[in-house]
Amino acid sequence: MTAQLHFADAGEAGDLAAFLARLIHYDKAAAVRLQAAGDTLAVFGRPPSFEVLAIRTARLAKPYEHGIETSLDVTVSAGELLEYVGESADSAEHAGDAGGTGGTGDAVVPQAVTGPPWAGVLPPRGGWQPEPGLPPVGEVRQLVAAAVAEFKSRVEELPQEQRVRAELDQVGREIWSRTIGNTGLPVRAAHAAQALGFLRGDSLDLLSSGPWLRLRTNYGSIAVRRAGVGGLSVTPA
């Protein structure tokens, strides 16, 4: 029997589809790790341009179950999952437009793939504590905009013959590795949050657990390892 996800509503499926599409924009061959238990699905992805771990959750209409299995933990192709989730969102929306209840939308779980190295090491599930020092969300957005503008300006100042990948990467590392205030959170985490559609609304929190920092919004989270923190405490595959 093929495993399926039953989303709480079309909006949940649509938001997840948008997240997957953004991941694929940065990596056509992107893989995502899915973990579902109870009525919550967590999707983990790693956009290579940002060197962070992106986390998006979706509400399920009922607790996940597949035969005698009550939880799901699998790495799949982001592109294949997007096809199924996109169809789920479209069918539920069309049912609503036709005068029906709208449906919750079901999506097939694709076949497992060999996961990239990052998929074997995830942040811990619990133990997250608030971290002080994060500026208001409006200031964080301004900081990201200023960093993007600086990157473009510095690249434009380079002679044409120096606009090679190694030089651009060096400029990018210098800018995106800067920390936000005294938090230890690199600017690239906030940049990733904005690029993936997470940096919306007024809710923005910074949490920590062991060597991990997590920038959390109502639309998703970005997790990174703190520089210089040893003794990794992670969740193995």
Q: Which CATH architecture has domain 4-122?
A: Roll (3.10)
Token couple for 147: 């960093």
Please, which pLDDT band fits residue 234 given cuts at 50, 70 and 90?
very low
pLDDT score of 120 more than 80: yes
* 178 close to 190: Cβ distance less than 8 angstroms: no
* Segments making up each domain of the chain, as ranges: 4-122, 129-206
Looking at this protein, which amino acid is placed at residue 41? L
Query: Measuring CA to CA, which residue among 41, 44, 35, 29 is closest to residue 79?
Result: 29
pLDDT score of 230 more than 80: no
Burial 139-159 (b: 16+ CB within 10 A, else e): ebbebbeebbeebeeeeeeee
Q: From the DSSP assignment, how many helices (H) and strands (E) are in the chain?
A: 5, 12
Tell me, what's the pLDDT at 59?
A: 95
In this predicted model, what pLDDT tens digit does every residue of 138-172 receive, in sequence order?
A: 999 999 999 999 999 999 999 999 999 999 999 99
Tell me, what's the pLDDT at 101?
A: 44
Tell me, what's the pLDDT at 231?
A: 36
Strands ordered across the beta sheet of 53-59? 71-77, 31-37, 40-45, 53-59, 220-225, 212-217, 205-209, 129-130
Tell me, what's the pLDDT at 58?
A: 95
pLDDT score of 186 more than 60: yes
Q: Rounded to whole angstroms, how far apart are CA atoms 157 and 233? A: 43
Please, which pLDDT band fits residue 104 given cuts at 50, 70 and 90?
low
Q: Which runs of consecutive H residues, i.e. helices, occur in the chain?
A: 10-26, 78-97, 137-157, 165-176, 187-195
pLDDT score of 232 more than 50: no
Rounding to the nearest 10 degrees, give the CA dihedral for residues 16, 79, 60, 122: -90
* 212 close to 202: Cβ distance less than 8 angstroms: no
